[in-house]
Every structure is written in C-alpha cells, then in structure tokens.
Structure 1
Amino acid sequence: MLAVVQQTLGITAPVFAMLFLGVALKRVGWIDAAFINTASALVFRGTMPTLMFLGIIKADLQTALRPALLGYFVLATLACFLLIWGWAIWRCPKVDRGIYVQGAFRGNNGIVGLALATSLYGDYGLSVGSVLAGLVILCYNVLAAMILAIYSQDAKSDPWAICRSILRNPLIIGVVAAMPFAYWQVPLPDWLMTSGQYFAQMTLPLALICIGGTLTLATLRASSGIALSSSLMKMVWQPLLATLGAWLCGFRDADLAILFLYFASPTAAASFVMARAYNGNHQLAAVIVVITTLAAVLTINVGLLLLQWAGWI
C-alpha cells in the first residue's frame, strides 16, 4: 500500500507544482488576465483536442474492448451525473449549477486513473484503461458541454442550441475525428505524430498555470462552500456508489479496481478550461480542481485499502 501512496503522490505532486507556479507567475506579474484568457482559449480550441485525438488513436480498441465494463461505466456515469444534477438543483445557486455538476462528475482519468491502473496492473491496466479513457473523454465532454450550455449566461438553452453547442465543441470534435483512425488502425506520418505530441504536451502545464493564475484568497473564501460540496460528491459519494454498483454487477479484481480508480480520480483541469469557454464561474472550477487533487492522495488510497480488506480486488 505504501507503494500506491507514493505513486499517487508522484502523480499529484507535479500537478500542484504547476498550480503553485501559476500563482507565483501571476503574483510577480509574468502572466496576467490577458495571458490567461488567451492560453485558456488555446488549450480549449487547440492543444486539448489534439491531446484527446492522439490519446484515442493510440488505443487498441479491438484488443482491449470489454463491452460489459465499458457499458457499466457509461451507465454509472450517466446515473451519477443525473443524481448530482438533481442534488445541485436543490442545493446549488442556478448561476453556479453547471460548474458544480461538471466538477462533481468529471474525473482526471487520462492522468491519474490511467497512470494508477497501469502501475497496479501493468499491460492489462494500460490496455483496458486506455480504451476506457477514450470512452471517458467522449462521455465527459458531451455531458459537460450539455450542462454548461444549459446554465450558460450567454448561450441559449433550447434543445437545438444545446445540440449545436455540443457538436461544435472542439474537444468532442477531436474525439469523434480520432475514432476512425483508432478503429481501423490508420497510421499517421511520424513527423505529424511528433509535431502533434509537441503541441498536445502544452495542454496540462498551460491549463494548470491558468488555474493557478486565477486563484486568490478571496476566490477561495467565496467559493469554499459550493466547492467543498462538489468535491465531496466527486471524491467520496460518486466512487462509493459507482464502485458498490460495480461489485453488485459482478466485477471483481482488476476490473473493479480500474473502475474504482476512474470514478475516484480528481476533477480534470479540462473542467476549468470549459468553464472559461462557456463564460461560467471558472474561479469556482479552479477551486474544485485544487481541492479534489489534494483529497485524491487520501481518498484513492483509503478506497484501495478498503477494497483489498474486503477481498474484492
């Protein structure tokens, strides 16, 4: 278990390092609001869609396809999304409702979930986790685009407008565009893949620096109540309910552990980028990312310990 704790810290510590770098750069005046706006737009429209495109085309969909596991993940994600949305309607101000829901269900599976699955289960964790990550990207981005469009102050909330918002979302376009390449294993030129990787590798550092640049003590105080509630949903209630449901459906050992890791991952930095793109409360989104990333060191390891103690993994 100590090795897993060290692995989790090894993944989350660089995230915090980039967040604090963003805070420091804003404090000394090396970055400003204009930079954050431009960099966030670049991530949303360019580097993150490229990262998702490359992540999916590298996955071996035909080898690691597990219909039962993938199907359960989609249904559990949708069920958790609806439960969180219902709770938000009751407990959260309308203006922040989209940000609350997105922060409470959208996990950082491409970084935390996949890395831990690979660390614990080797090639099996990598193959199953990669295919699951592709499905995660599609599910999360469709649901996030929908909920943000519904509660956006600038966008129309009629069904056709919401559909157009989803179809025009660069992250979803990147996912859909990658699917034919992944399914038929269409090779791309090496120079193009290398150039794409250079471009995509800017995604996480830029997004985290922008998050850090928006954090202030006033922001933390103003957002603390709603952010804590959303973070508890993400790090405690969602993994608890979804993992228990997976056990009741018969999942055990590596499959159950991988599902747990994906449901228990902290909120993705992409939630901040999308909040800015939809003119939502991006400061609240930033605080949720920070709280859930910090909590992940404790909740993921406690969850794995309990699953091992129960003999389920």
Structure 2
Amino acid sequence: MFTIREGRFQLLLVERGKPPFLGRLALPGGFLHPDEDAETTARRELLEETALDAGTGHLEQLRTYSTPGRDPRQRVVTVAFWAILPALGSVHGGTDARMADFVPVEELEADIAAAGPGGHLAFDHDRIATDAIERARSKLEYTTFAARFCPHEFTMTDLRLVYEAVWGTELEPANFRRKVEGIEGFVRASGRSTRDLAPETPRYWSDSDARESWSVQMLTHRSQGPPAIPKALMLGAAPPDFAPATLQKGSPDSSGRRRGRPASLYVWDGSEDLFPPFRRPGT
C-alpha cells in the first residue's frame, strides 16, 4: 500500500506480532480462506492488519512468488498485490500485526540495500517491496495515474510534485508543463485559476473525500521543518531538511495559495494511457 504523505512517497509496513520473524517489519498479508479469491484476501488482510480499506483506491496484482523455502513454516505461494490510496486516515496494527505505519520509500530502499544476508524485511518481502516500488514508478510513465493523487482541480505544480515524490527526482517546471500539455487526453484547463478558489477553502482530494491535498501538506512542512517519523519505524537516514528559503513572489505559501499571478487550474481529461510515454529522467 503506497501513498504520499507530507510530500514523500511512502509504503505501508507492519511489525509482526507472531513468529516467525517476531518483531520484524513486513508487508501486510495473510492466508486465503476457503471461500475467498486472492483479491478478496488481499483486501481483507489489509483491513484487518492496518484498518485501511483498499476499496477506496487502486488495487492491482503485482506478481506471484513461489521460491521453495521462502516461508520457514511450510510451502507458501504468494500472490502479491499493490495499491495506492491518495489520502488515508489513521492506521493501526491488528490480528498478528503489532503496529502499522508508513515508511518513506527512499529510506526503505536504503535499508534494503544495506541489509545483510538475512534481509531487512521479514520473509522475502525485500524483493516484493522492491518490485512494487518499481511498478508504481513505471506506472506514472505510461498511464495518467498521477492525476489520481491530485484534487479534482489542480495546478501544474500539484501534478509535478506527484511525479517528483514518486520518482524521487526534481523536474524542471517549464519542461514538465510542455510535456504534460503535449500529451492528448492527459489534462485540460478547467477555465479557472487559483484566484477562483476562496482563500479560506482547503484543497481536497475529491468532492466525495474531503481530505487535505498532500501538496498543501508538503508546503506546510516546508515552512515548519521536517516531519516526524514514528520511532518504531525509524529506518535508515534521517529525512531531508524541508525548510526552504523565504518564499518568493508568485510561489505558494503554506496555505496552498499563490502570491502574485494566479495559477491555472486543470482537470484530468479522462484518458488512462499516456502516449507518448512520460519517461523518467535517466531512463
């Protein structure tokens, strides 16, 4: 389960409350019930172990993992799923998970790379997490998936920040705008600007899910300092310093509003696929 919190691409992990790998971090999951298919099991286990409902976001199958010995208890074949929810409530551990929380992807990748033969996560979850991270990143190259992280109306900056968070790299704003506007069916201008948004009106994920836009959260943390990472899931290096230089004229302030010239608002134009693809820098 991925999301963007405080401007950072993050993956949901649980702390195991039962052997094997007691106390180790792992991906949420469990065994099928006799009357379930794999997707139903994935949704149920996520809800039981983390209190999150995958029905509100995107869920798709990743791949099957069947290497003998991957589970010390017995022969286990895993059908892995990955999901993205653009905005989430609180999470907490349940059933055989002591706790659940999100971990920044770049920190998790560093811990996996530095881990010894025993791995960082339980079982073979290092491999599964790495595969899922790459799938999510590549999804933004050939689909319009990034627009689902934005409010119904969003600025080009909102959309660019999604790409930067997931890909872990900065994108040049003018080039980004040209690429996006050159892809048919990706976004279209709504005919409105940030001037049309009431100053006291918060940015929401969607009309039906009134949760604050992650890009506004990111700007808030840029002005207040780095976000705290739960101690129990403090993995690897400390988060980067989010404190920026003083905001300049025309840049967003911590409320998500822009100073100076208002920014144009866009909406998703309905296409699922990107053509031509939007390639990551360096690929």
TM-score by length of 2: 0.23
1 or 2 for the larger relative contact order (CA 8 Å, sep ≥6)? Answer: 1
Structure index of larger Rg: 2
Whichever structure has more helix as a proportion of its residues is: 1
TM-score by length of 1: 0.21
Whichever structure has more strand as a proportion of its residues is: 2
